């Protein structure tokens, strides 16, 4: 491709509303263009990069035995009502009516559609297993899109769905996808980590996320320094204590203190001169299984997914002011376990606590010297808080958890029969018995992979594309386009590289060399061949490697082979 005719308009300055490097650089490198909040066009250079990522994904998916399909972006409400998610999915599902008043939605994911296809087409165990995937535009009406295509509303996703006759088969399918994902992200040159994850509204019972490690990531990962355990914050467990008995309390009674207007943990600490660790936070939750009080140490945070499990409920949210007053007899900020008659679930972290400060269930009063074992009847002790740095590993002995940030680029789920049961996707087994198909689903955020790669591979001069996803692995840069010798040699190298299968750019713009160098750096081309009169006199050109910055002088006759050897991975 000739830069003189390419639709590429780079920017010198950072656009104002870009925060993270990948967003800034994708805009500056003329890869994307915003149309509305969370909705982007891909310009030629960005699309080319996207296609490279897709190519890697396709190759590995096909190699793993999956077959490509393409499903509609617009989906009728009908299938969503069948699966039961029409009423569950919430505002992220963008709904609308067609001219006849029929209800439709823009697909945020395709479990319903694929399940309806497979249930019509598959009737026998002989048709299974099967794995179908697509690469397609999804729409999720995110409450707050941000960071460019990292978290956009419209985005490109590869989603695959596996169908098996039994759990053993489903396990194999899951495993095959897990391995394919490891190959995909490795080939893209990413530093990543698979972690155990919560399943969220997609459902199912087991899942892993693939996280690209980056300080700007929105997800927090906890991983053990000693063994291979790693999990998303929402899922991360904490080592189970040896005993679930509360610490024995001495004789005595809590002492009431006047704490006017003091509500938050910080305020209480400041007012009473204690630390957050000395406090017990009492959070009142409304659930489909009644009201519960969650007790955690003042410096810990409740993990709602864990609390749901412990409380045995499906839905759960922090109680509103009125509910709190009704059950604690005090406004928000003064709840405590002593004398509280609702179900109380205490966190492991409180097992060896004593002499705590808690709310008094009375406006403007707290209690000092509270011992859970003595003063409050706790119904259950469980793991209900977020893990944090320094916590003990749940899988090995002696390991501690560290926290790092990551960008979720892939997610694999075991769905079981959630959808096949709801939507009647079944098959006849060898014995002629009708059984539900066991499903799995596997997503990769294609556009997010691109953003994550740039997040991981950039420097002060711009993008540093890894070769496998570089839109163009090589750029030929003639220092002067008016020098016929220089231009002729540049053209020759450019043509030869292209004819030998290397996507190559040539900067044939009538611009000063400095401008060309800056642009080549900005757009992140891995190898730059500089052709100038100086070098030609010695019979050489210069090849600069973007990632290391090293420059080598290569004889004219060898430069094509030199590049081929570096670019064909």
Partner RNA sequence: CGGGGCGUAGCGCAGUCUGGCUAGCGCACCUGCCUUGGGAGCAGGGGGUCGGAGGUUCAAAUCCUCUCGCCCCGACCA
Measured CA to CA, the distance from residue 478 to residue 529 in angstroms comes to 8
How far apart CA 533 and CA 485 sit, in angstroms, is 8
Cα-based distances in Å from 286 to 74, 79, 317, 361, 362: 36, 31, 6, 18, 20
Cα 511 to Cα 507: distance, rounded to the nearest angstrom: 9
Which segments of 236-356 does DSSP mark as H helices, in order? 265-272, 304-311, 321-328
For residues 175 and 414, give the distance between their C-alpha atoms in angstroms, rounded to a whole number. 10
Q: How far is the CB of 372 from RNA (least distance, A)?
A: 26
Q: Which position has the token pair 């053209």?
A: 491
Cβ proximity to RNA: between 30 and 420 the closer is 30
Instruction: Please identify, using beta-carbon distances, which residue of 166 and 198 lies nearer to RNA.
Output: 198
CB of 365 to RNA, least distance (A): 27
**Which residue, 18 or 393, has its beta carbon nearer to RNA?**
18
What is the nearest approach in angstroms of RNA to the Cβ of residue 532? 2
- 474 touches 526 (CB < 8 A): yes
Q: Do residues 177 and 64 lie in contact, with contact meaning Cβ atoms separated by under 8 Å? A: yes
Cβ distance to RNA smaller for residue 261 or 514:
514
* Residue 8 Cβ vs RNA, minimum distance, rounded to whole Å: 11
Q: Taking the complex as a whole, how short is the minimal distance between the CB of residue 35 and RNA, in angstroms? A: 9
- In 3D space, the residue among 204, 210, 212, 106 whose CA is nearest the CA of residue 162 turns out to be 204
- Assigned token pair, 18: 């870009």
Nearest distance in Å: CB 437, RNA:
23
Residues that bind RNA (CB under 7 A): 9-17, 19, 34, 36-38, 89-90, 92, 140, 142-147, 197-198, 200-202, 209, 219, 232, 234, 317-318, 408, 411, 461, 479-480, 482, 510-515, 517-519, 521-522, 530-535, 542, 544, 551
301: CB partners within 8 A, 6+ apart: 385, 386
Residue 60 or residue 209: which is nearer to RNA going by CB?
209
CB 325, min distance to RNA, A: 20
Which residues have C-beta within 8 Å of that of residue 304, sequence separation ≥ 6?
316
Measured CA to CA, the distance from residue 461 to residue 75 in angstroms comes to 44
Q: What's the closest the beta carbon of residue 125 comes to RNA, in angstroms?
A: 32
Other C-beta atoms closer than 10 Å to the C-beta of 141 total 17
The smaller minimum CB distance to RNA, of residues 17 and 267, is found at 17
Residue 277 Cβ vs RNA, minimum distance, rounded to whole Å: 21
Q: Minimum distance from CB of 274 to RNA (Å)?
A: 24
The residue among 518, 513, 522, 529 whose CA lies nearest residue 567 is: 529
| Reduced 3-state DSSP string for 321-336 | HHHHHHHHCCCCCCCC
Q: Do 124 and 427 touch, CB atoms closer than 8 A?
A: yes
CB of 423 to RNA, least distance (A): 19
At residue 57, the 3 state secondary structure works out as helix
Q: How far is the CB of 37 from RNA (least distance, A)?
A: 3
Residues present in the chain in total: 569
Q: In the complex with RNA, which residue's Cβ is closer, 247 or 491?
A: 491
Give least dist CB 497 to RNA, A.
Answer: 18
Token couple for 206: 């087991």
Residue 10 or 424: which CB sits closer to RNA?
10
Q: Which is nearer to RNA, 147 or 229 (CB)?
A: 147
Least separation in angstroms between residue 287's CB and RNA is 13
Of the pair 372, 505, the CB lying nearest RNA is at 505
Spatial distance between the Cα atoms of 215 and 561, rounded to a whole number of angstroms: 38
- Please say which residue, 344 or 544, places its beta carbon nearer to RNA: 544
Nearer to RNA, 90 or 290 (CB): 90
- From residue 4, how far is each of 41, 202, 355, 512 by CA, in Å? 22, 47, 75, 13
Residues 6+ apart with CB under 8 A from 87: 81
- CB nearer to RNA: pick between 115 and 369: 115
From residue 43, alpha-carbon distances to 10, 31, 32, 516, 559 in Å are 12, 5, 5, 20, 30
Q: What is the DSSP letter of 149?
A: G
Query: What b/e string do you get for 245-276 counting C-beta neighbours within 10 Å, with b at 16 or more?
Result: ebeeeeeeebeebebeebeebeebbebbebee
Taking the least distance from each CB to RNA, the nearer of 95 and 500 is 95
């Amino acid at each position: 491709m000739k830069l003189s005719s390419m639709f590429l308009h780079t920017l010198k300055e950072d656009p104002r509303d870009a925060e993270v490097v990948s967003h800034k650089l994708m805009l500056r490198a003329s890869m994307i263009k915003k149309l509305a909040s969370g909705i982007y066009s891909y310009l030629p250079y960005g699309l080319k990069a996207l296609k490279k990522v897709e190519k890697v994904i396709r190759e590995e998916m096909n190699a793993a035995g999956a077959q490509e399909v393409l499903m509609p972006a617009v989906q009728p409400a009908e299938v969503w009502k069948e699966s039961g998610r029409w009423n569950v999915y919430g505002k992220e599902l963008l709904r609308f009516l067609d001219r006849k008043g029929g209800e439709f939605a823009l697909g945020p994911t395709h479990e319903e559609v694929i399940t309806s296809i497979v249930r019509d087409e598959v009737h026998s165990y002989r048709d299974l297993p099967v794995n179908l995937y697509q690469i397609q535009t999804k729409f999720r009406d995110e409450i707050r899109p941000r960071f460019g295509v990292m978290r956009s509303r419209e985005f490109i996703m590869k989603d695959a769905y596996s169908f098996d006759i039994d759990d053993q088969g489903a396990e194999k399918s899951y495993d095959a996808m897990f391995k394919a994902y490891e190959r995909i992200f490795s080939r893209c040159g990413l530093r990543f980590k698979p972690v155990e994850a919560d399943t969220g509204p997609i459902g199912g019972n087991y899942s892993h996320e693939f996280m690209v490690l980056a300080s700007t990531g929105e997800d927090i990962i906890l991983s053990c320094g000693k063994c291979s355990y790693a999990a998303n914050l929402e899922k991360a467990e904490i080592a189970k204590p040896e005993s679930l008995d509360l610490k024995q309390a001495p004789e005595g009674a809590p002492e009431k203190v006047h704490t006017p207007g003091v509500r938050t943990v910080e305020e209480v600490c400041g007012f009473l001169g204690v630390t957050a660790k000395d406090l017990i936070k009492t959070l009142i939750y409304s659930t489909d299984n009644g009201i519960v009080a969650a007790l955690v140490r003042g410096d810990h945070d409740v993990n709602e997914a864990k609390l749901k499990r412990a409380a045995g409920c499906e839905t759960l949210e922090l109680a509103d002011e009125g509910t709190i007053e009704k059950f604690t007899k005090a406004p928000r900020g003064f709840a405590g376990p002593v004398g509280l008659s609702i179900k109380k679930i205490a966190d492991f972290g409180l097992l060896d606590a004593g002499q705590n400060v808690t709310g008094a269930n009375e406006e403007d009063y707290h209690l000092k010297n509270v011992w859970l074992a003595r003063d409050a009847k706790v119904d259950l002790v469980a793991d209900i808080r977020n893990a944090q740095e320094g916590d003990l590993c749940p899988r090995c002995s002696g390991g501690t958890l560290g926290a790092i940030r990551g960008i979720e680029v892939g997610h694999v789920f075991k769905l079981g029969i959630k959808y096949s049961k709801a939507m009647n996707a079944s098959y006849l087994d060898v014995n002629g018995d009708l059984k539900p198909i066991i499903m799995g689903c596997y997503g990769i955020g294609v556009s997010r992979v691109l953003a994550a790669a740039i997040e991981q591979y950039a420097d002060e001069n711009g993008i540093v594309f890894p070769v496998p996803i570089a839109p163009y692995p090589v750029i030929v840069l003639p220092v002067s386009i008016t020098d016929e010798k220089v231009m002729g040699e540049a053209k020759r190298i450019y043509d030869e590289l292209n004819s030998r299968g290397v996507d190559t750019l040539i900067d044939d713009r009538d611009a000063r060399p400095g401008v060309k160098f800056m642009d080549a750096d900005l757009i992140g081309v891995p190898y730059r061949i500089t052709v100038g009169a100086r070098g030609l006199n010695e019979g050489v050109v210069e090849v600069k490697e973007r990632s290391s910055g090293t420059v080598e002088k290569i004889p004219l006759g060898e430069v094509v082979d030199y590049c081929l050897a570096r670019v064909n991975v």
